[in-house]
Amino acid sequence: MLLALWRLRTPTVSPSPVVAVGVDGTLDTQLATLLRTPSDTIDVTLQSVPTARDRALLRTLRGSGHVLRLRADAPLVASAVSAEAEWRASGGTRVQLVGGHSLVATLSDGAGLLDSVRFDSAGVRRRTGPLEGALLLRGRTTRAAVAPLVAAAPVVARVFVTGAATWESRFLIAALEESGWPVDVAVSLSPTVTVTQGAVRAPSRARHAIAIVLPGASAAAIAALPSFVRRGGGVVIVGEAARSAGLGALRAGAPGTLLAGELGAEAGDKPRHGLDLVPVASLTAGSVALESRDGRVAVAARRIGAGRVVQVGYDNSWLWRMGGSDDAPMAHRRWWSALLSGLVPLSHPTTTVRMTPATDTLDAAPVAALARDIGLPDVRAASASVRGTSRSAALDLRWLMAIATLALVVSWTLRRWRGLA
């Protein structure tokens, strides 16, 4: 009894096990071993941010009553990555990254290094080619990996372009075709003459993924757009086309007064400053600005039903291609191609990913969802938030009580026998 009482007052203190989360983010000790440890406290040394699996293991240990003391020799920064296949003739992937401010990391896939990135508070976006296996982000003390979302079925990414015959229509169609986009065209030359490529005069979801509306588009083509976009199609409204009566309900915002481009700027390092601009003067509810120039919204986007609408204020982007610097034709192609790639609807993505963005690239804070997905035990907290009953102490007490009870019974029995004798 005295022994039991003494044991209760001064419980046995076992030395705390020290486990480490290595540079690969995994614990160096099995969970089963840790759960059997007699110590209440487990010291965890973090050499890098634990993987999602091992963060779950640490939460399990905490929930089982252990106290976790976390320590890191160097500041740790969490990171997260998402990847989604996007349509391009040669295949492509749209990547979003979020991480601690000023984190420097490398991006690679199964084929090797893709890029190096430096994070800022807004996160990082990249467009790469098709990925080989999973996408891996590696920093000094952090890593994240994801398998890209891919469509289950081949995506129809044909583009329909409609409007009057202008240099903008001509060079835009050329840029898309040079980038590998299949293009149908309905361009008007007179009230009775329309040049078509693809023998269609209006966009159809059965055939097209995206419709581009230039100034002078026909009434029939414009009338088909509301149902086209609600059924998942992407619509791009270019320049003065935003003033068309039939597009009022679709556009991302009211068009402002035309602003002339800065003469010669198309050959400089900000080529789109040289283009005439029909700014998006007031954004419709739910629209977001994608690009601005001199404080005015140049490109804006919104969702409508299952589809998306992008309003491009630049009225003569062909000037950039013709009059820009040596890489202007390629830059012009890439800019338009990237804009359209974000509009192609991917059907039935099937690949499971660890980090799932709740929003897409057209939303105002696309990386916020990724940031929320990063869950990391606070390294600065030296003790667990939950302290449960020590299981080892309870176990000892039960045995001691059993022994004490047995001792009492034996003692009483012996006295009775002596009395009878």
Partner 1 sequence: MRFTFATVQYESGDWDSAPLLAANVIDAVARYTSIDVAPSGAIVPLSSEALLRYPLTFLTGHLPVRFTAAEKVMLRRYCERGGLLFVDDHNHDVDGVFHKTCTEELTQTLSPLTKIANTHPLYRSFFTFRDGPPTTSHELNGWGDNLVHEHLMGIERNGRLAVIYSNKDYSSEWSFHPENKKFLSVDNTRFGVNLVVYALTR
On whether the CB atoms of residues 216 and 292 are closer than 8 A, the answer is: no
Token couple for 77: 């920064």
Count other C-beta atoms under 10 Å from residue 117's C-beta. Answer: 21
- Does 68 bind partner 1 (CB under 8 A)? Our answer is no
Contacts of 78 (CB under 8 A, 6+ apart): 49, 99, 100, 142, 374, 376
Q: Which stretch binds partner 1 (CB under 8 A): 126-134, 138-146, 228-236, 311-319?
A: 311-319
CB of 254 to partner 1, least distance (A): 22
- Does 195 bind partner 1 (CB under 8 A)? Our answer is yes
Rounded CA Rg of the chain? 32
Tell me which of 160, 228, 314, 318 binds partner 1, using CB under 8 A: 318
- Does 420 bind partner 1 (CB under 8 A)? Our answer is no
- Does 22 bind partner 1 (CB under 8 A)? Our answer is no
Looking only at residues 319 through 378 of this chain, which bind partner 1 when binding is defined by CB under 8 A? 319, 321-323, 328-329
Q: Which stretch binds partner 1 (CB under 8 A): 80-88, 99-107, 165-173, 360-368?
A: 165-173
Size, binding site for partner 1 by CB under 8 A: 30
CB of 128 to partner 1, least distance (A): 26
Tell me which of 54, 86, 184, 315 binds partner 1, using CB under 8 A: 315
CB of 190 to partner 1, least distance (A): 5
CB of 316 to partner 1, least distance (A): 5
On whether the CB atoms of residues 161 and 183 are closer than 8 A, the answer is: yes
Q: Which stretch binds partner 1 (CB under 8 A): 95-103, 116-124, 162-170, 294-302?
A: 162-170
Closest CA to 372 of 358, 388, 392: 358
Count other C-beta atoms under 10 Å from residue 125's C-beta. Answer: 14
- In the bound state with partner 1, the residue whose beta carbon lies nearer, of 51 and 244, is 244
- In the bound state with partner 1, the residue whose beta carbon lies nearer, of 174 and 259, is 174
CB of 165 to partner 1, least distance (A): 4
Question: The tokens 């982000």 sit on which residue?
Answer: 137
- In the bound state with partner 1, the residue whose beta carbon lies nearer, of 171 and 335, is 171
Question: What is d(CA 80, CA 52) in angstroms, rounded to the nearest whole number?
Answer: 11
Helix (H/G/I), strand (E/B), else coil: 88:
coil
Q: Which helix (H) or strand (E) holds 419?
A: helix 391-420
- In the bound state with partner 1, the residue whose beta carbon lies nearer, of 134 and 164, is 164
- In the bound state with partner 1, the residue whose beta carbon lies nearer, of 90 and 190, is 190
Concatenating the DSSP letter of every residue in 114-136 gives EEEEE--TT-EEEEES--SS-EE
Residue type present at position 62: R
Concatenating the DSSP letter of every residue in 308-371 gives EEEEE-BS-THHHHHHS-TTHHHHHHHHHHHHHHTTSPPPSB----SS--SS-TTSS-TTHHHH
Tell me which of 178, 360, 363, 396 binds partner 1, using CB under 8 A: 178
CB of 166 to partner 1, least distance (A): 7
Tell me which of 93, 188, 218, 311 binds partner 1, using CB under 8 A: 188
- In the bound state with partner 1, the residue whose beta carbon lies nearer, of 36 and 170, is 170
Token couple for 184: 């149908």
On whether the CB atoms of residues 320 and 266 are closer than 8 A, the answer is: yes
Contacts of 365 (CB under 8 A, 6+ apart): 359
Closest CA to 279 of 246, 312, 236: 312
- In the bound state with partner 1, the residue whose beta carbon lies nearer, of 279 and 342, is 279
CB of 239 to partner 1, least distance (A): 9
Residue type present at position 144: A
- In the bound state with partner 1, the residue whose beta carbon lies nearer, of 82 and 169, is 169
Concatenating the DSSP letter of every residue in 37-54 gives -S-SEEEEEESSPPPHHH
- In the bound state with partner 1, the residue whose beta carbon lies nearer, of 142 and 169, is 169
- Does 316 bind partner 1 (CB under 8 A)? Our answer is yes
CB of 195 to partner 1, least distance (A): 5
Q: x/- site string to partner 1, residues 236 to 275, per CB under 8 A?
A: ----------------------------x--x--------
Interface ranges with partner 1 (CB under 8 A): 164-171, 174, 178, 187-191, 193, 195, 216, 264, 267, 276, 315-316, 318-319, 321-323, 328-329
